[in-house]
Chain A
Amino acid sequence: MEYRNIQTICPFCGCGCAINLEVVDGKVVGVLPVVDHPVNQGSLCIKGWNAHSFVHHEDRLKVPLIRENGEFREASWEEAIKLVAKNLEGIKKKFGSDAIGVLASAKCTNEENYLLQKFTRSVIGTNNIDHCARL
């Protein structure tokens, strides 16, 4: 029997509202706005109020899946990353860097998104990068 709140930042837009994730016995069950935080001062938008809903969602992927003959099979991270790297390299060689586009995620940290744009521009060599939370 355990109930506590973990203070974190809302994973959606770039506003950076502080949220308390309500945790009951290790499971995230709800969100409360952080009342004394200078950014949101106790308020949230509808996305922030529901920021916990994807955490334990049954549709959420837990392991990498590789599609073979139209069917998905579970794979190790090692194998999945190797496959992606090989295919990206192949496309870049055959069609050029601008044939590749990258979509970043609102669920990542700033640092992870920074890394992704760095990877896109310096490794892949294109400016085709965008973000669903570019509000």
Chain B
Amino acid sequence: MIEEIRTQVAKQLQKLDGIVGLRQTNQGTGPFLFRDGDDLNQLVLEPRYPLPVVLSKLQKQFRDANFGIVARGCDVRALVEMTKRLQIDSDRLYLIGFTCSAEQAKMCYCADPFPAIEQWPKAEMIGESVTGVQPNPLVEKFKTMSWEDRRTFWHQQFQKCIKCYGCRDICPVCFCEACSLEDPQWVEPGLLAPEFPTFHLIKAIHMTTRCVSCRQCELACPSEIPLTVLYDLIREDVSNLIGYIPGADLEAAPPLSLTLSDAPMKSDLV
């Protein structure tokens, strides 16, 4: 599959200004903007990095450039929510979607380890879909736990937080310039662990209708707090109650941002 992707990247680079992907050299692996003429043998697919965050940063800096991205399922889901919230310009984007390896999908308990690219104006897809991925056992276990047990569990988990803000920094759908988690009115500066449960529930509330279950926050957490269990349960509730699945549909308006539809993210309206 990787050879096929490299061929496509080489082909698209003749038309595009650059393609965001992962580059591996003897100095390490990290996100990279491939340009025409670069050594594409260095293009790899793993480990996972928050490539949509990188793309958004580049689109904002280079306003006229046409970029591509080599994206897996969760990246594309993130791009959907970011596009709706004006963090990605889909007109200036070419998607090269690929399916995750079975190992990667199982490690992530991912229900959608392949990108849904049909709705994107400029996109192509490489690879066959992976099936047979089991859901996160902790999420399933949670559904059988009492409210009291859940509260105790999260109390213990959030007690471990060292307030690195990594879950926010790595999150593709966390992009506000003024963050509530840095507002002393909500979060007392210098207090460790942060007050229970406000800090993490502010984040969780903001993740409602946004979280695309990419698990980047959980993997970045130095205290190994299973954040996506919380966000997955919220995702499920939102899906059951109002039928909205974050990352699924480029056209569906995000339910919590409806009043901003004329001028989303304008500072005078937020």
Contact = CB atoms under 8 A, between A and B. Distances in A.
B28 A3 contact: no
B27 A35 contact: no
A1 B163 CA distance: 34
Given A1-B65, A32-B30, A43 B166 contact: yes
A43 B49 CA distance: 12
Interface stretch (B53-61, B80-88, B152-160): B53-61
B162 A45 contact: yes
Given A1-B65, A46-B165, A35 B28 contact: no
Contacts of A30: 57
Interface in B214-238: 219-222
A44 B220 CA distance: 7
Nearest to B47: A35
A24 B47 CA distance: 22
A52 B201 CA distance: 29
A44 to B, nearest CB: 6
A51 to B, nearest CB: 12
A30 B58 CA distance: 12
Given A1-B18, A32-B50, A46 B164 contact: yes
A29 B57 contact: yes
Contact of B32 (A3, A33, A46, A49): A3
Contacts of B221: 43
Contacts of B47: 35-36, 42
A35 B50 CA distance: 10
A33 B65 CA distance: 27
Interface residues of B, number: 33
Given A45-B222, A49-B169, A34 B164 contact: no
Contacts of A35: 29, 47-49, 219
Given A33-B220, A43-B221, A20 B28 contact: yes
A4 B30 contact: yes
Contacts of B48: 35
A1 to B, nearest CB: 6
B72 interface: no
B35 interface: yes
A63 B153 CA distance: 54
A107 to B, nearest CB: 20
A24 B166 contact: no
A81 B111 CA distance: 63
B62 interface: yes
B17 interface: yes
A1 B62 contact: yes
A58 interface: no
Interface string A1-25: 1111111000000000010101010
Given A24-B58, A46-B164, A4 B222 contact: no
B30 to A, nearest CB: 3
A14 to B, nearest CB: 16
Contacts of B31: 3, 5, 20, 22, 32
Interface of A: 1-7, 18, 20, 22, 24, 29-30, 32-36, 40, 42-46, 48-49
Interface of B: 17-18, 20, 23, 27-33, 35, 47-50, 54, 57-58, 61-62, 65, 162-166, 169-170, 219-222
17 contacts: A1-B17, A1-B18, A1-B62, A1-B65, A3-B31, A3-B58, A4-B32, A5-B32, A6-B30, A7-B27, A33-B220, A34-B30, A35-B49, A42-B219, A43-B164, A44-B222, A49-B165
